Amino acid sequence: MIWLAIVASVSAAVTAPAAAQERSAVKQGFELAAKSNKKILLFRPAVRVGAQSTGGLFEPNAEWTEQAKANIEAALHQFQESLGNEVVAAPEAYGDDARNLHEHMALFAAVSQSVIEYQFFVGNRLPTKKRDNKTQVFDWSLGKGVAGLPGAADADYGLFIYNRDAYGSTGRKVLQVFAAMGGVSVTSGEHVGYAGLVDLKTGELLWLNADAAMGGDVREKDGSEKRVRQLLEDFPGSDIPKAVAE
């Protein structure tokens, strides 16, 4: 059968992501109390939304992405006062500044994914990320180049947010059904979100909330509010309540 052949070829390259036993962490010794007079620079979130093809490829959708950007930025504005300290939007970046910011957003996403794989998932934890083979050591950095980002000179910390959603196409959903019939696990859809607080002087990652299986449909207003609430859960000094589970 055609679909069984597709399942056989795709399943060889598809593996279910490792379940993260932890989702957030704070650098040892870091504290940020509410009303501490620290300034947090909020960089415009990196948002990508599209479809997941039958073979699992990401197919960007410009309309969904623009809607999600507007929804997420509106939700961030809604929760901004609950973060405990002064939050200011980073200035618009152009030319070399824009390229530099784009590169650091990509770096933040790559570091966050590494944290999920090699620190949050206990079974994969790197030897350098644990003390006495037991205690977690949260020590990650984006490098001192963050000091050159637009607005960084006038703030203490930078808040980076990365969001990527791939909604399963009809073909992908059909493949998932046929794969299940053959005893093969194939996921349909990808919903990844990272939020991180970075020291703008040193580049050290001070707090991270990262999850490869987030809730909330960012194409909808309510869904974006849920997503942002999840991203900002446990933010140092904030009073944001946890999202209600679906």
Spatial separation of the C-alpha atoms in residues 210 and 108, rounded to whole Å: 11
- CA torsion, points 116, 121, 126, 130, in degrees to nearest 10? 110
Q: How confident is the model at residue 19, as a pLDDT?
A: 44
216-231 pLDDT tens trace = 999 999 999 999 999 9
DSSP state of 149: S
Count CB-CB contacts under 10 A for residue 58: 15
**Of 161, 116, 159, which Cα lies nearest the Cα of 25?**
116
Query: Above 70 in pLDDT, residue 120?
Result: yes
Residue 68 has pLDDT above 60, yes or no: yes
pLDDT of 235:
95
The alpha carbon of residue 23 and the mean position of all alpha carbons in its chain are separated, in whole angstroms, by 10
18-33 tens-digit pLDDT: 443 468 999 999 999 9
Question: Is pLDDT at 167 greater than 90 in this prediction?
Answer: no
Name the DSSP class of 141: B
Among 51-60, 101-110, 164-173, the range with the most confident prediction by mean pLDDT is 101-110
Give the chain's mean pLDDT: 84
Under 8 Å CB-to-CB from 212, ≥6 apart: which residues?
A: 17, 20, 116, 190, 191, 192
Task: Give the Cα separation of 44 and 167 in Å (integer).
Answer: 23
pTM of the predicted structure, to 2 decimals: 0.83
Which pLDDT score is estimated for 189? Answer: 66
Residues 6+ apart with CB under 8 A from 80: 42, 87
Cβ–Cβ < 8 Å for 177, 69: no
42 vs 180, higher pLDDT = 42
Query: Does 111 have pLDDT greater than 50?
Result: yes
